[in-house]
Amino acid sequence: MIQSLEYFLSGLGVALEPTNLLFCFFGVLCGTLIGVLPGIGPVATIAMLLPVTFYLTPVAALIMLAGIYYGSQYGGSTTSILMRVPGESASVVTCLDGYEMARRGRAGSALAIAALGSFFAGIVGTMLNVLFGPEFARIALSFGSAEYFGLMVLGLSVSIVMSHGSMIGALGMVCLGLLLGSVGRDINTGFPRLTFDLPELSDGIGFVPLAVGLFGIAEVMRNLDAGEAFTGMVQKIGRLWPSREEGRRATPAVLRGTLLGTLLGILPGGGSILASFTSYGLEKRLSRRPQEFGNGAVEGLAGPESANNAAAQASFIPLLTLGIPPNAVLALLVGGMMIHGITPGPTVMTEQPALFWGLIASMLIGNIMLVIINLPLVGIWVQFLKIPYRFMFPAIFLFCCIGVYGVNSSSFEVLLAVGFGLLGFLLSKLGLEAAPLVLGFVLGPLIEDHLRRALTLSDGDPTVFATRPVAAVLLLLAVLAPCLVLLPQFGRRRREIFQEEA
């Protein structure tokens, strides 16, 4: 533990370098802005900014992308509280009691509770990365190909269970992602797969056009289709500090939300959305005043806001130590690492300690920046809400196309991104989520690689996955995870969460 703290201090030196500090500030500022603006979201923003990372150092690029992710958790609470419009999906629960507090003249208190609770949860999540990240990495270093195969299959299985809507649809999206990930020449035989004799596909489908299309361009289409009518905005902010009674009620909720969010953030497919809804349900059950929930309960705001930020920070643990992205946003970060030739997993900590510890240390700095950005500048963020979307979408679409073209100077990839944009829009119309597709696309080549390697080392004996205890347990859990939905209580709670979010 002492050694981890020493490494963390060295990481602070990396994070405090002027360039890295600048991109940390840009990341959290951009994250706050896209969290405030409804209809954009961190996934679309990171997808659009991926091409920019080609021109940055790996440390600066990942610090910026990570800042966008956890910064959006902060910014999303502003529109939820003032307008009852969630800036991003994890802030849906904040609408329930945050907006009611604002309507009763306590908007300032609500914003302060959300920001301070998020700050505490973010700091705790960062320190857990410091303390437990190396332990996860040591365990992961003992894994062989069979164990990694089981772990990645488990990640996909849990993501199917935790995805929105139909599990059959989520399974289909994972399979489609695996299929798209197999396009290109076989790395062992050089035989072309699913290229349709197009030379542009011989190296496979690029991650940037897929991500920008599915999330950036598709998001523009969805917003134009949905319209842009935002009404009911609270005009008066009031005093930006909670009363003593509000602080007394918020404190235990923040602590519970932080603990719950940390545990759920580590799970693949869990993340901020599940953490915020679960925290709200827990606070309502524990409260002596359950009738206040939905009418301005402080606990109903403090708990979920802390939970979604703790989950955002904790989700970096499996990403950095095991190479498993728990959600779609961090799958994009895996893409960003691969762009720079970095293989995500436990070797990152040993082979590139400056990147590993610099990224973790930047989260501490970023959380401090976010408190400064969110509370004093809330009036400025409110002004951004008045920008009509018809002025924003042409710039977003143009930026998407320029970014994709700039990667390989390929007009084919621009057309590919537009095609994936149409696919993403169609999937949303069918009620299907694109996140499992991205996870399948990112993990597919890794799963294939570890499967082949495990079979090669065992001379083609498939029982290697049963005779190695850890691999067998992981694969058994992967099979059992979808069976949880058959349990009445779990299945009912899963439906309630996604119905409330909708």
Query: What pLDDT shows up at residue 381?
Result: 62
Write the DSSP assignment of 257-301 as a string of letters.
HHHHHHHHHHSTT-HHHHHHHHHHHHHHHH-S-GGGTTTT-HHHH
Query: What pLDDT shows up at residue 230?
Result: 46
Q: Is the pLDDT of residue 45 over 70?
A: yes
Query: What pLDDT shows up at residue 231?
Result: 46
Of the ranges 97-101, 191-195, 374-378, which one carries the lowest mean pLDDT score? 374-378
Q: How confident is the model at residue 199 (pLDDT cuts 50, 70, 90)?
A: confident
Instruction: Check: CB of residue 25 under 8 Å from CB of residue 372.
Output: no
Highest mean pLDDT among 70-79, 270-279, 359-368, 491-500: 359-368
Of the ranges 132-136, 464-468, 475-479, 495-499, which one carries the lowest mean pLDDT score? 495-499
Nearest to 21, CA basis, from 64, 69, 65, 52: 64
Euclidean distance between the first and final Cα of the chain, in Å?
A: 43
Phi-psi region of 269 (alpha: psi -120 to 50; beta: other; left: phi over 0): left
**287 against 138, higher pLDDT:** 287
Instruction: Check: CB of residue 317 under 8 Å from CB of residue 129.
Output: yes
Q: Could you report the per-residue pLDDT of 230-254, keeping only the tens digit for each?
A: 444 555 565 667 778 888 888 899 9
Residue-averaged pLDDT of the chain: 78
**398 against 90, higher pLDDT:** 398
Give the 3-state secondary structure of residue 393.
helix
**What predicted TM-score, i.e. pTM, was given to this entire model?**
0.67
Please, how many CA atoms are within 13 Å of residue 6, restricted to the half-sphere of its CB? 3
**378 against 439, higher pLDDT:** 439
Query: What pLDDT shows up at residue 161?
Result: 73
Instruction: Check: CB of residue 114 under 8 Å from CB of residue 98.
Output: yes
Give the 3-state secondary structure of residue 192.
strand
Q: Is the pLDDT of residue 265 over 90?
A: no
Instruction: Check: CB of residue 454 under 8 Å from CB of residue 464.
Output: yes
Q: Residue ranges of the alpha helices (H) in 142-270?
A: 145-162, 167-181, 207-211, 218-226, 244-266
Nearest to 233, CA basis, from 70, 379, 73, 392: 379
Highest mean pLDDT among 275-279, 396-400, 411-415: 411-415
Please, how many CA atoms are within 13 Å of residue 326, restricted to the half-sphere of its CB? 25
Q: Could you report the per-residue pLDDT of 310-332, keeping only the tens digit for each?
A: 888 887 877 777 777 776 777 77
Q: How confident is the model at residue 496 (pLDDT cuts 50, 70, 90)?
A: low
Q: Is the pLDDT of residue 85 over 80?
A: no
Mean pLDDT of 249-268: 82
Mean pLDDT of 396-402: 78
Of the ranges 72-86, 394-408, 488-502, which one carries the lowest mean pLDDT score? 488-502
Give the 3-state secondary structure of residue 12.
helix
Of the ranges 41-45, 69-73, 136-140, which one carries the lowest mean pLDDT score? 136-140
Query: What pLDDT shows up at residue 501?
Result: 46
State phi, psi for 119 to the nearest 5 degrees: -65, -45
Report CA torsion sign: 471, 472, 477, 482.
positive
Q: How confident is the model at residue 441 (pLDDT cuts 50, 70, 90)?
A: confident
Q: Is the pLDDT of residue 358 over 80?
A: yes
Query: What pLDDT shows up at residue 269?
Result: 52
Q: Is the pLDDT of residue 102 over 90?
A: no
Q: Is the pLDDT of residue 25 over 90?
A: yes
Query: What pLDDT shows up at residue 18?
Result: 92
Query: What pLDDT shows up at residue 423?
Result: 92
